[in-house]
């Protein structure tokens, strides 16, 4: 999501008639907001997970983020301000699970293994972060070569990210639910 959100917003501005230079500048402004919302998400989801349980929040956040992944790209031809707003909300949920997962790991893993577990989690995130932009880009290139509509191109490209979200839901469902009160 991080790699392709700016491109999606810029594409929406271009489709609305803006030049690529203006579209890129406007997209950058919205991406700044995306990062700010990510910080708010970390705090908010962390607090909610303290109240309702790590597992519950991980499931809901992953489900909502997956829903955005499967839907946001289809709106590329709509007003770019709608796309930018959707992407900002999307980022809130796509980022909201990170501190909750980190805390859940820290609470459950033996201290002697915590460094190794965090290293594996970090490496897994970097690998997924390296592979997913390539997958999204490949979908875009393949569908553009076939001259499909912009909505189909961006819709299917972002939908590929939804499969990671669904995988996160499956893993979260398998976690024990140790709700803190």
Ordered DSSP codes for 137-157? HHHHHHHHHTT--HHHHHHHH
Is residue 179 very low, low, confident or very high in pLDDT (cuts 50, 70, 90)? low
| Least trusted range by pLDDT, from 57-71, 151-165, 166-180 | 166-180
Q: What is the DSSP string of 115-126?
A: HHHHHHHHHHHH
Over residues 32-55, the mean pLDDT reads: 90
Q: How confident is the model at residue 19 (pLDDT cuts 50, 70, 90)?
A: very high
Give the per-residue pLDDT at 14: 95
Show me where the domains of the chain are located.
5-173
Architecture of the domain whose range is 5-173: Up-down Bundle (1.20)
Place 178 in a pLDDT band, splitting at 50, 70 and 90.
Answer: low
Q: What is the mean pLDDT of the chain?
A: 91
């Amino acid at each position: 999501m991080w790699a392709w959100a700016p491109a999606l917003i810029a594409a929406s501005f271009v489709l609305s008639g803006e030049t690529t230079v203006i579209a890129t500048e406007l997209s950058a402004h919205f991406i700044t907001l995306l990062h700010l919302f990510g910080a708010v998400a970390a705090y908010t989801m962390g607090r909610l997970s303290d109240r309702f349980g790590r597992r519950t929040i991980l499931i809901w956040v992953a489900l909502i983020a997956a829903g955005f992944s499967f839907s946001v790209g289809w709106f590329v031809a709509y007003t770019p301000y709608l796309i930018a707003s959707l992407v900002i909300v999307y980022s809130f949920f796509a980022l909201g699970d990170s501190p909750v997962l980190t805390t859940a790991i820290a609470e459950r893993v033996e201290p002697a293994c915590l460094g190794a577990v965090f290293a594996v989690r970090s490496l897994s995130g970097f690998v997924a972060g390296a592979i997913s932009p390539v997958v999204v880009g490949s979908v875009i290139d393949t569908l553009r070569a076939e001259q499909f509509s912009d909505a189909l191109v961006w819709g299917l490209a972002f939908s590929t990210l939804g499969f990671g979200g669904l995988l996160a839901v499956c893993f979260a469902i398998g976690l024990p639910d140790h709700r803190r009160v």
